[in-house]
């Protein structure tokens, strides 16, 4: 059964910090006690805590020293100089039984947890290697892979680690390593970790004294790294009662605090981002700004939306125009360029293709033939040329086209990366009004969101943007740069674009054509239904715009003519906006409202003799 955050969390989340500048990593240190002598129950508790932390958006979760296996606080295992008591030997037998093998089934379970909740996991364990125990930290990535371990170098009841287990792992969220408890007082060990470039320094501990905070702050400043120190909070009653488990000296009262926690997160500048917490079990979280240089500003992406008209019925000339516009945008430093709906192939504004109920005129059929001829095959030579343009000018390209698939046309958006590779396409799912006469309907197999070096990019076309379930599907895929090629130039369009930016916590880039009647062929070759506009009449006024996740208009709307409309996108705005509202994250209620997306291709005809081949082909289509 999946474990998810409930309305009554297992423990409280506290201290989220105040600076949400990107790029950020949400880190959580767990302050909680072991279920002593009961490793399966401890792993169950670990999973509940991990699920809760992931529910709050944690990407990295750090557990205390010896969380799995237990820290035998107060015990001396019956050891006196020259002797070990029978009771002490039995205590060690039980402690040895509660330890885990590395690798082993408990490690496999921890790896599965990390993969299930998509978090990087740093877990303190007692490792059993034959009859020697080690105080160890295990590392797992968010795909559920065990990365490796660090064994504590200096210890009493435990064996001594050596220099072969002082790893610093390079991960997508930063370089991560660990030193355990008083190892952190060893300057040469710290120096070795600094030399490996550690950025996120984990310090699982059993030291809850106030003085521990000074050491953690010093290490953050000395190493120029984030320090995440996780300790247990436990009372005497969290250990087995006497005589099964005996504290040396005076026996504490059951409710006595025997480890007060003090878990903390500290920035490279020595600022305490979260904690220290001495109040009880807790998830202590902060957003870490992982750029370790002196400039902590978020990365920016220069984006351009193109507002220009098609050369109608002339696809080669339209591609030539697209290249000129692309070259100009690249000259201004654009990294991402978005073209309008149906730029290649054309938006047949004002035409009704001779359709009335029950009839289609000969002129309308000829108009469709020419329109069909101006459309492009995907893949095809025009797609190859667009890919070459993207590679030539080193831009990510989002291009509205009319796609020809046999004798059915689709209003489609194509995506290309800056290396000149075609990434895939989105077919408009719901053409509007008379568009349904000339365009087919896309299905759930072409609702992509592409993960790129400049962000996660996808698109919805024109009035598709009014479909809340389609938008929700894209939000669920993590869209960050939401492209909205359109043919709607009304003022009201701006309200929809602003709402989507706020709702999705994403940048919205809406590109529309600006065109006059004379940008279409003259009558009678191309006829507008109803009254024929004057040649200079504006038939689409543009309104292209770029809006931030906070709803701020960064550029546009432009109603003046053809234009390149550009803005620098501060990707840090996404994290700041999602902190307010994450529609498919912390602001969702999946137990009440959920969405199923049928994302397989919907084909009208299937040939059983070719089903295996067809399935293979479909699985490799973008």
Q: What is the C-alpha separation between 238 and 374, in angstroms, rounded?
A: 75
Contacts of 203 (CB under 8 A, 6+ apart): 178, 179, 180, 181, 184, 216, 219, 227, 228, 229, 230
d(CA 467, CA 602): 20
**CA 74 – CA 154 distance, rounded (Å):** 19
How far is the C-alpha of 286 from the C-alpha of 273, rounded, in Å? 6
Active site residues: 65, 341
Whether the CB-CB separation of 39 and 100 falls below 8 Å is answered with: yes
First-to-final CA distance of the chain: 33
Q: Which residues contact 459 (CB under 8 A, 6 or more apart)?
A: 398, 413, 415, 426, 482, 483, 484, 485
Q: Find, among 118, 36, 27, the residue nearest to 73 by Cα.
A: 36
Q: Which two tokens stand for residue 435?
A: 């568009």
| SS3 category, 591 | coil
Residue ranges in 394-434 assigned as alpha helix (H): none
Q: How many Å apart are CA 120 and CA 143, to the nearest integer?
A: 8
For residues 379 and 404, what is the distance between their CA atoms, to the nearest angstrom?
10
Contact 27, 225 (CB under 8 A): no
Tell me the backbone φ, ψ of residue 85, rounded to 5 degrees: -75, 160
Cβ neighbour number for residue 614 with a 10 Å cutoff: 15
Per-residue HEC secondary structure of 291-326 comes to CCCCCCCCCEEEEEEEECCCCCCCHHHHHHHHHHHH
Tally of CB atoms within 10 A around 18: 9
Distances (CA, A) of 474 to 293, 352, 424, 552: 33, 32, 15, 21
At residue 468, what are phi and psi to the nearest 5 degrees? Answer: -65, -30
418 in Cβ contact with 395 (< 8 Å):
yes
How do beta strands 257-260 and 282-289 pair? unpaired
Under DSSP, is residue 465 helix (H, G, I), strand (E, B) or coil?
A: helix
């Amino acid at each position: 059964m999946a474990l998810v955050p409930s309305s009554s969390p297992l423990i409280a989340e506290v201290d989220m910090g105040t600076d949400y500048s990107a790029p950020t990593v949400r880190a959580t240190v767990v302050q909680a006690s072991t279920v002593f002598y009961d490793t399966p129950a401890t792993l169950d508790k670990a999973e509940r805590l991990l699920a809760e932390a992931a529910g709050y958006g944690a990407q990295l979760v750090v557990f205390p020293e010896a969380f799995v296996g237990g820290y035998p606080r107060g015990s001396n295992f019956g050891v006196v100089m020259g002797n070990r008591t029978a009771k002490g030997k039995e205590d060690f037998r039980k402690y040895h039984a509660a330890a885990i093998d590395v690798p082993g089934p408990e490690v496999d379970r921890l790896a599965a947890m990390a993969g299930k909740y998509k978090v990087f996991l740093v877990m303190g364990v007692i490792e059993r290697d034959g009859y020697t125990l080690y105080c160890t930290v295990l590392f797992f990535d968010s795909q559920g892979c065990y990365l490796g371990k660090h064994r504590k170098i200096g210890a009493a009841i435990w064996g001594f680690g050596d220099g072969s287990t002082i790893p610093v792992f390079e991960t997508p969220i930063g370089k991560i390593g660990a030193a355990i408890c008083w190892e952190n007082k060893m300057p040469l060990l710290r120096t070795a970790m600094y030399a490996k470039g550690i950025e996120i320094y984990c310090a699982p501990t059993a030291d809850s004294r106030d003085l521990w905070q000074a050491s953690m702050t010093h290490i953050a400043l000395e190493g120029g790294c984030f320090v995440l120190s996780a300790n247990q909070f436990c009372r005497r009653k969290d250990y087995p009662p006497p005589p099964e488990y005996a504290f040396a000296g005076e026996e504490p009262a059951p409710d006595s605090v025997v480890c007060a926690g003090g878990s903390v997160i500290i920035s490279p500048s020595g600022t305490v981002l979260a904690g220290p917490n001495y109040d009880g079990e807790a998830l202590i979280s902060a957003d870490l700004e992982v750029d370790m240089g002196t400039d902590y500003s978020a990365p920016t992406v220069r984006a351009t939306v193109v507002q220009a008209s098609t050369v109608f019925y002339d696809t080669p000339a339209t591609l030539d125009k697209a290249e000129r516009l692309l070259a100009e945008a690249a000259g201004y430093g654009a990294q991402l360029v978005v073209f309008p709906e149906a730029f290649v192939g054309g938006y047949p504004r004002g035409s009704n293709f001779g359709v009335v109920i029950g009839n289609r005129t000969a002129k309308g059929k000829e108009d469709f033939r020419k329109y069909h001829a101006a459309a492009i095959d995907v893949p095809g030579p025009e797609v190859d040329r667009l890919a070459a343009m993207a590679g030539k000018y080193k831009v990510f390209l989002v291009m509205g086209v009319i796609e020809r698939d046999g004798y059915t046309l689709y209003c489609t958006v194509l995506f290309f990366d800056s290396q000149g590779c075609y990434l895939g396409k989105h077919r408009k799912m719901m053409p509007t009004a008379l568009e349904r006469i000339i365009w087919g309907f896309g299905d759930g197999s072409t609702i992509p969101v592409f993960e790129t070096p400049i962000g996660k990019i996808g698109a919805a076309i024109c009035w598709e943007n009014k479909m809340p379930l389609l938008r929700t599907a894209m939000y669920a895929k993590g869209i960050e740069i939401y492209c909205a090629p359109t043919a709607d130039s009304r003022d009201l369009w701006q309200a929809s674009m602003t709402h989507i930016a706020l709702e999705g916590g994403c940048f919205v880039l809406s590109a529309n054509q600006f065109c006059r009647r004379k940008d279409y062929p003259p009558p009678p070759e191309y006829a507008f239904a109803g009254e024929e506009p004057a040649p200079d009449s504006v038939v689409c006024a543009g309104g292209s715009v770029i809006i931030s996740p906070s709803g701020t208009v960064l550029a546009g709307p432009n109603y003046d003519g053809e234009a390149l409309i550009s803005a620098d996108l501060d990707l840090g705005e996404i994290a700041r906006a999602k902190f307010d509202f994450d529609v498919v994250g912390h602001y969702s209620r999946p137990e009440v409202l959920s969405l199923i997306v049928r994302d397989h291709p919907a084909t009208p005809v299937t040939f059983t003799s070719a089903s295996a081949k067809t399935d293979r082909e479909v699985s490799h289509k973008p």
